[in-house]
Structure 1
Amino acid sequence: MIRLLVIIITAFSVAGCTLFQPAVRPDTPIALPDHYALYTTDDPGPGRWWEAFGSDSLNRLVEEALTGNFDVRTAWARLQQAEAVARQAGADLKPTIDGVAGADKNWQQTRTDDAGTTHTQTKTFSAGLTAAYELDLWGRLDALRQSEVLEFEAVREDLDAAAVTVSAAVVGAWIDILSLRRQIDILTEQIDINQRMLKLQELRFVNGQANALDVSQQKEALAAAKAKLPMLQLDEQVQRNALAILLGRADSHNLAVDEATLPDLIPLPKAGLPVDLLAARPDIRAAGLRLKAADWQVSAARADRLPAIVLSADAAFSSDALDLLFSNWITTLAGSITGPIFDGGNRAAEADRTRAAADEALAAYAQIVAEAIGEVEDSLVTETRQTEYIVLLQEQLGASQTTLRAAHLQYMNGQDNYLDYLTAWTSVQDLQRQLVDENATLIKNRVTLYRTLGGDWTGTLLGERAPQKTPSTTSSSKSSSNG
């Protein structure tokens, strides 16, 4: 009867049945809109979208960042830790066997009045094996393993999310550098023109065609243009330093950014539907996996309130002679059952804690989804309004250039003062630099749109380096999807 009971219990345990299944969650953690307020119907765009800029130096920068960036390297280390913890959780489902061996040698001296002194020498050799196995009767250990496997997969998604963020940050810094370079070039040309205009005004003053106020106003305009140059150069160096840190470097001395002008816009990606973000964004996938992991922790905490059965076996060998060691032995097979009778509410409190932690994970999941949809909405509306703004700025520049030509003609004909012409020229100069900056903002927003929409390009880029699932993790992952 006892043997039959042990067989039944063992079969039940080996089956890996989890008594307390995780809560069944809806497909989405929050009500999602049917579509975005603004949407695109273009092609989805390239997977490794930054390659669409057609810059070899940019491609090298992104590739370097995806291996050298500090956040990416930290994510790799965390992934290795999570993989090890998942393997540890799986090991708890298997028996443990420990071995021990030893040898003793004793010397004894005995002195008596009649026989004098006697010496005794003894040797003892020993060896033993100890095995223990907890029957996972209620699925507690399996639930813990499921939780750790899901956490490992979530950390893997964190790695993908870091890659998405870092690639966008590198491209953004690269665009800022090119924008500042173009603004510096425009400002340098404007300074050169102002210097030539100052010489012309000084010549006109000598010839009586201009007054001292005209010359001083031109000197002021030249000084104002020169004063803007150091700050633009400072901003460029700051961006180079930021880019170097993104690459995992300590300095930017050998940073190769070959281009001098802004690139063209890359294709506008298809936004799709808000529900698509659940599968497209790695940070959302990670949050969903952590919610499932938290639900398995609840299952483990509930199962921990029930009795546990542990089987143990010992084999001990001992002898005075090494060659007879395994001829003298004793074995012990034991089973024990332990269960909580009174623990001051500790296990009940742990179950409540895990439920609250699962509720927290659900709220975090819902928040990440809502923020992701908001980021896409912001990028789409920025795309539209920024484009409209640039068109209006171009119209303003065209009107300012017309005003400049008219002011120059009137000044040369003596119909207007030099200040009006100088004001019109300064307005054109400012608008030229502003247009470069706004075009850079438009390009960076396009990059942000690619980042907010996610994608699966990280799977092919990072898959070869990431730890692969073991057969045990694969099987548990499949079973967890049913919960």
Structure 2
Amino acid sequence: MRLRLPTLLVAMLSAFAGSGCNLDWEKPGLGAPPPERFRAARPRSAPPLRAARDFAALFRSRELTGFVDQALDQNLDIGAAVARIEQADAQARVSSAALRPSLSVNNIAQTNRTPGTVLVPTSGAGGLTPASSDVLATSDFQAVSFGFFQLGLTASYEIDFWGKIQDASSAARLLANASRFDRDVVEITTIAAVLNAYFQTLAARDRLRIARDNVLIATEVFETIKLRFGVGTATGMDVAQQQAILADQRASIPPLEQNLQQTENLLAVLLGRAPEDLLLEGGSLAKLAVPAVAPGLPSEVLLRRPDIALAEARLASQEFSVLRARAAFFPSITLTGLYGLQSALLKNVLRPEAVAWQFGSELAQPLFDGYALQGQYELQKGRYQELATLYRKQILSALTDVENALVAARETERQVMLQADSVTAWRRAYATALARLREGTIDTVTLAITQTSLFQSQDRLAQARLARFRAATGVYQALGGGWSPTTRDVEIAQANAVYEAEKGPWP
């Protein structure tokens, strides 16, 4: 008995329903809404930060702005991220290809020869006798040759009745969007690294300059004490003590030189250049400006972070992967067709009688596969659960980044002010101690303590300035680095344009 298609569908779905498969899915929640304000800032709305180059210009260093431009154009991590965008766009085209019919040329030219020892005709009624028969003559073994020639087109198309192919296409297109957000994350991270490397280079030069000045100061004091020792107003202990201070200052220079050269090498790599090709004028951190940045509201920040958009796009893509895995349980219907010319002889392949066509449909319904489909479905649901958890974590991390960056910016500013006061005080103390030394009214122990404290205070001030500029970079990175919802809309529109350009005339 032949079943009609609706009857066959009902029978297959009934068998599927009775197989014990569970297709229920309740998506996990994505957490509570963001807080209304940051603890470390006033609850006030603010526009997004400027783009990378404009933000770098706020430090008032044309050299730094030029380095940022070079990084945007030549950084290898950004270049790799751009290549991943191209890969994701190509994968989206691959995943969307099944939405459209496939058409191909299917030309065949073949000749087959069947040995007479396989099929041996009898001399009588035209039947076949076994090849092992002992009564056949040698002339009865006749080989058979025949050919087959075809010129034609074959087509196939799977009807996306359950949306399985569309879900795969949507998942891949969302991953193409995610690749663009990933590139933005890489860009912001790279620009922050360039800024910090430049600041660290200037700080290393400041500290090296301070160390060399301190060597000159310690040398001057050492020569003064030696003169006093020569006239009997200083002891050998005084000379040895100052000599040790001078040696300590000289020993501090090689690590600073090493730090400076290695930081310059790091900056060169971030700019996509060899260390030998980097030309850095430098200067001092004290000559740079520190930009003031308004953080805005937490809800605004979450819309300005490309890593949040990246996590959201991956989560949305995974939802379609879950739907695709669920649709795999249902029947698939494929239409196939062929139209062309066929002939056993090449000379007849273009005759009108050689026209051949074929049209068919195939319906496949999985009944039992060892629970492979159920396992794949559970796997995709588990992956969605993981990405949903990571999405919530990304939101909390973003809010924490902003809070920490604001706290760092505020406290490092205070630290620089207080440390500058400390340097001023120790300079006055050292000047007084040195004057009394020359007058012979102070012992060298007090001078040594004052001198060492001045050296340490100056070095701490240079490090505090570096921490302040790094905090400014942290604010830039935490607030999304010039990225905005407008940027997101533009990049999604670009991805859609790429898809539409490659789609062709099919829906």
Aligned equivalents of 2:348, 2:313: Cα separation in 1: 57
Give the structure 2 partner of residue 135 of structure 1.
159
Query: Match of 1:192, as an amino acid?
Result: L
Verify the 8 A CA contact 2:152 2:340 in the aligned structure 1: yes
Name the CA shift for 1:224/1:100 in 2 (closer, same or farther; >3 Å): same
Please tell me whether residue 385 in structure 1 is matched to residue 391 in structure 2.
no
Which of 401, 405, 408 is the aligned partner of 1:375?
401
Identity %: 27
Paired residues of 2:295 and 2:301 also in contact (CA < 8 A): no
Q: Does 1:97 align with 2:103?
A: yes
CA distance 1:326–1:407, change in 2 (3 Å):
farther
Q: CA RMSD in A?
A: 3.5
CA deviation after TM superposition for structure 1 residue 467, in Å: 7.1
Matched, 1:277 2:301: yes
Q: Which residue matches 1:253?
A: 276
In structure 2, the residue matched to 1:298 is 322
Q: d(CA) in 1 for partners of 2:301 and 2:219?
A: 55
The more displaced of 139-148 and 72-81 is 72-81
- Other-structure match for 2:369: 343
Most deviating of 304-313 and 274-283: 274-283
Q: Structure 1's 61 and 22: CA in aligned 2 closer, same or farther, altered over 3 A?
A: farther
**2:496 paired with 1:469:** yes
- Residue type of the partner of 1:402? R
Alpha-carbon distance in 1 for matches of 2:329, 2:258: 64
Unaligned runs of 5+ in 2: 7-22, 117-136
Shift of 1:404: 2.2
Length-normalised TM-score, structure 1: 0.84
Q: CA deviation at 1:289?
A: 0.5
Does the Cα contact within 8 Å between 1:43 and 1:268 map onto a contact in 2? Answer: no
The CA deviation at 1:62 is: 2.3
Alpha carbons of structure 1 residues 109 and 87: separation in structure 2 relative to 1, 3 Å: closer
SS at match of 1:32: coil
Q: 1:47 and 2:71 equivalent? A: no
3-state SS of 2:99 partner: coil
Deviations 1:290-334 (A, max 9, x none): 110011111111111111111111124124355852621111111
* Alignment map for 1:282-361 (pairs within 5 Å): 282-319=306-343, 320-322=345-347, 325=350, 327=352, 328-361=354-387
Distance in 2 of aligned mates of 1:108 and 1:193 = 104
Cα deviation per residue 1:398-456 (whole Å; 9 max; x = unaligned)? 33233223433443443320120121022112111210111111011101110110044
Deviation sequence 1:158-204 (CA, Å, 0-9, x none)? 01100000010011011001001011111111212222222232233
Which of 75, 78, 84 is matched with 1:78 structurally?
Answer: 84
1:83-482 paired onto structure 2 within 5 Å: 83-104=89-110, 125-249=149-273, 251-262=274-285, 263-319=287-343, 320-322=345-347, 325=350, 327=352, 328-457=354-483, 468-470=495-497, 472=499
| In structure 2, distance between residues paired with 1:122 and 1:146 | 49
Give the greater-gyration-radius structure (CA): 2
> How far did residue 68 of structure 1 move?
3.3
Write the distance in 1 (CA, Å) between the matches of 2:247 and 2:498.
71
Post-superposition shift, 1:358?
Answer: 0.8
Deviation at 1:350, TM superposition (A): 1.8
What is the distance in 2 between the residues matched to 1:237 and 1:397?
27
Q: Is the 8 A contact 1:308 1:337 kept in 2?
A: yes
- Of the structure 1 ranges 75-84 and 59-68, higher mean CA displacement relative to structure 2 is found in 59-68
| TM-score, normalised with respect to structure 2 | 0.80
Deviation at 1:390, TM superposition (A): 2.1
Shift of the 155–29 alpha-carbon distance from structure 1 to 2, 3 Å rule, reads farther
| Alpha-carbon distance, 1:473 to partner | 5.8
**Amino acid aligned to 1:33:** P
**Residue 372 and residue 145 in structure 1: after superposition, are their counterparts in 2 closer, same or farther (change >3 A)?**
same
1:264 positional shift = 2.3
Q: Which runs of 5+ in 1 are unaligned?
A: 7-19, 477-483
SS of the residue corresponding to residue 416 of structure 1 reads coil
| Cα pair 1:30 1:366 within 8 Å, conserved | no
For 1:12, the equivalent position in structure 2 comes to none
CA deviation profile, 1:230-278 (whole Å, cap 9, x unmatched): 11001111212222232334x4122122122114233221111112233
Instruction: Look up the equivalent residue of 2:94 and give its one-letter code.
Output: Q
Change (3 A) 1:352 1:107: closer
Q: Cα distance 1:189–1:333, how it changes in 2: closer, same or farther (>3 A)? A: same
Q: Distance in 2 between matches of 1:304 and 1:66?
A: 44
